[in-house]
């Protein structure tokens, strides 16, 4: 395992994200504890020492399950990160209760790493707190003083303007920042701009979505061939991680590994620093440009689903939309037959509630309307 220096710590360059733990019966809230424990045990035995969870993951159960699993290991043998769920003002007003509950769920007296979760359009105002209504920053600094937080940082999906404003206000207190970085988003979501900004503020970068929710694990045949010609034995996830290794500012790369084979492969990748070259990165960027022509950048974070009055499975519909775009119709249309009629794209009423919370700024209602149209045309 490669280790990265963070202040006086040595963090494993690969961290285990717990947003996509194995589940039972396809229910995101029902974590398969036995399989998750096997994953954690294997990870620890193979040098991973950074574990990242959050209040909202797996409908609130990720923290509870990780607390149970990690309680079997000495507390000083791993680093634990979780986040404050500042998506709604009520949570900020109940910050003390939530923070204490997180300590209880995770069976710990302190967090090694604690983040303002997901700075974005929805919570920018609450986190900036210009009128001093919420006091989250002050509370977290107090927790730090009491030793309950060792290192304070933030994760961000906001645009670079908002990020800069947040950094101008709190930057000197932020010890790390978690951003979405992969070879597709370097340009597409201007992760490049965020990297520059964080460098200017001297803030180490932790990476989320390195394989973009699995999207970069499988490419179109011609694109995979281009990459195989350069590194014949490297898999597509390996390319994604080797790319991240090429970015010097990155400290920990989080991967939400849902099974042992992903975990083994990623641990193998992080056993050696074989970063991609500039020429290889240019090939990746040209593939990215090609890929993004007709698709939407959904990462399946599911932040939007609870806001949909029609209870549509938005990430699933967008997944089908992307498949449709990549495949130019074909089987992707047939696969919609498996979705109940009242949950198909044409049931979107265009209320746009989902769009306010989407960190990827997807115009979901427009995409679903377009999708309905093309399906209708292609099935006539």
353 binds ligand SF4 (CB under 6 A): yes
For ligand SF4, what does the binding mask look like between residues 36 and 75, x meaning CB under 6 A?
----------------------------------------
Element (H, E) at 281: helix 278-291
Contact between 318 and ligand SF4 by CB under 6 A: the answer reads: yes
The window from 53-61, 128-136, 233-241, 348-356 that contacts ligand SF4 (CB under 6 A) reads 348-356
Dist. CA 374–CA 319, nearest whole Å: 15
The residue (of 12 and 62) whose beta carbon lies closer to ligand SF4 is 62
> Cα-flanking dihedrals φ and ψ of residue 332, to 5°?
-55, -35
Among 80, 364, 371, 375, indicate the residue that binds ligand SF4 (CB under 6 A): 364
Retrieve residue 188's tokens: 């597409």
250 contacts ligand SF4 (rule: CB under 6 A): no
User: How remote is the C-alpha of 166 from its chain's centroid?
Assistant: 20
Beta strands (DSSP E) in 40-194 are: 50-52, 79-84, 111-119, 149-156, 176-180
Region of 4-12, 128-136, 148-156, 352-360 interacting with ligand SF4 (CB under 6 A): 352-360
**Smallest separation, CB 312 to ligand SF4 (Å):** 5
Query: How far, in Å, CA of 286 to CA of 223, rounded?
Result: 10
Does residue number 342 form part of the binding site for ligand SF4 (CB under 6 A)?
no
The Cα diameter of the chain in Å comes to: 66
Nearest to 315, CA basis, from 327, 333, 325, 303: 303
Nearer to ligand SF4, 335 or 353 (CB): 353
Phi, psi dihedral angles at 288 (to 5 degrees)? -60, -45
**Please, which residue, 102 or 180, has the CB nearer to ligand SF4?**
180
By the 8 A CB rule, do 306 and 358 touch? no
Considering only the stretches 18-26, 111-119, 199-207, 349-357, report the one whose residues sit in contact with ligand SF4 under the rule CB under 6 A.
349-357
The residues near 151 (Cβ < 8 Å, ≥ 6 apart) are: 6, 7, 112, 113, 114, 175, 176
Least distance from ligand SF4 to the Cβ atom of residue 111, Å: 25
Verify binding: residue 165, ligand SF4, rule CB under 6 A.
no
CB of 298 to ligand SF4, least distance (A): 3
Query: 82 pairs with which residues across the strands?
Result: 114
Beta bridge partners of 205: 177, 250
Of 58, 266, 315, 324, the one binding ligand SF4 (CB under 6 A) is: 315
Contacts with ligand SF4 by CB under 6 A: the residue count is 29
Interacting residue with ligand SF4 among 270, 348, 371, 375 (CB under 6 A): 348
Dihedrals φ, ψ of 277, to 5°? Answer: -90, 170
* Candidate list 81, 252, 301, 336; residue touching ligand SF4; CB under 6 A: 301
Q: Is 3 in the site for ligand SF4 (CB under 6 A)?
A: no
Least distance in Å: CB of 339 to ligand SF4? 13
Position 158 contacts ligand SF4 (CB under 6 A): no
Are the beta carbons of 40 and 13 closer than 8 angstroms?
no
β-pairing, 14-17 vs 9-12, is unpaired
Contacting range for ligand SF4; rule: CB under 6 A; set: 1-9, 239-247, 283-291, 358-366: 358-366
Helix, strand or coil, per DSSP, at residue 132: coil
Given the complex with ligand SF4, which of 138 and 376 has the nearer CB atom? Answer: 376
Q: Locate 329 and state its tokens.
A: 């119709």
Minimum CB separation from ligand SF4 for residue 342, in Å? 12
Joined tokens for residue 222: 């011609």
Element (H, E) at 226: helix 221-230
**Applying CB under 6 A, which residues contact ligand SF4?**
298-304, 307-310, 312, 314-315, 318, 348-354, 357-358, 360, 362, 364-365, 368
């Amino acid at each position: 395992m490669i280790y990265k220096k963070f202040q006086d710590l040595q963090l494993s360059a690969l961290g285990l994200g717990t947003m996509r733990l194995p589940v039972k019966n396809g229910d995101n809230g029902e974590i398969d504890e036995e399989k998750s424990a096997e994953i954690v045990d294997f990870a620890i035995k193979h040098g991973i020492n950074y574990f990242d969870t959050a209040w909202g993951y797996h409908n609130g159960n990720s923290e509870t399950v990780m607390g149970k699993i990690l309680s079997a290991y000495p507390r000083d043998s791993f680093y634990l990160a979780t986040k404050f769920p500042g998506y709604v003002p009520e949570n900020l007003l109940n910050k003390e209760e939530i923070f204490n509950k997180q300590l209880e769920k995770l069976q710990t007296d302190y967090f090694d790493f604690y983040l303002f979760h997901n700075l974005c359009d929805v919570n920018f105002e609450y986190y900036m707190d210009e009128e001093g209504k919420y006091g989250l920053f002050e509370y977290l600094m107090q927790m730090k003083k009491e030793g309950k937080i060792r290192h304070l940082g933030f994760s961000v999906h906001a645009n670079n303007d908002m990020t800069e404003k947040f950094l101008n206000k709190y930057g000197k207190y932020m010890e790390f920042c978690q951003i979405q970085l992969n070879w597709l988003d370097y340009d597409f979501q201007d992760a490049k701009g965020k990297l520059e900004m964080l460098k200017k503020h001297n803030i180490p970068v932790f990476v989320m979505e390195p394989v973009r929710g699995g999207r970069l694990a499988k490419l179109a045949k011609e694109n995979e061939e281009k990459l195989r010609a350069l590194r014949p034995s490297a898999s597509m996830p390996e390319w994604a991680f080797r790319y991240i290794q090429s970015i010097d500012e990155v400290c920990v790369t989080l991967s939400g590994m849902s099974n042992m084979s992903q975990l083994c492969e990623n641990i193998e990748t992080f056993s050696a620093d074989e970063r991609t070259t500039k020429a290889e990165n240019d090939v990746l960027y040209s593939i990215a440009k090609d890929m993004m022509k007709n698709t939407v950048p959904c990462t399946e974070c599911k932040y939007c689903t609870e806001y949909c009055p029609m209870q549509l499975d938005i990430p699933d519909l967008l997944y089908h939309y992307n498949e449709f775009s990549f495949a130019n119709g074909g089987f992707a249309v047939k696969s919609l037959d498996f979705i109940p009629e009242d949950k198909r794209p044409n049931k979107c009423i265009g209320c746009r509630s989902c769009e306010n919370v989407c960190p990827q700024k997807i115009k979901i209602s427009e995409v679903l309307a377009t999708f309905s149209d093309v399906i209708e045309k292609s099935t006539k």
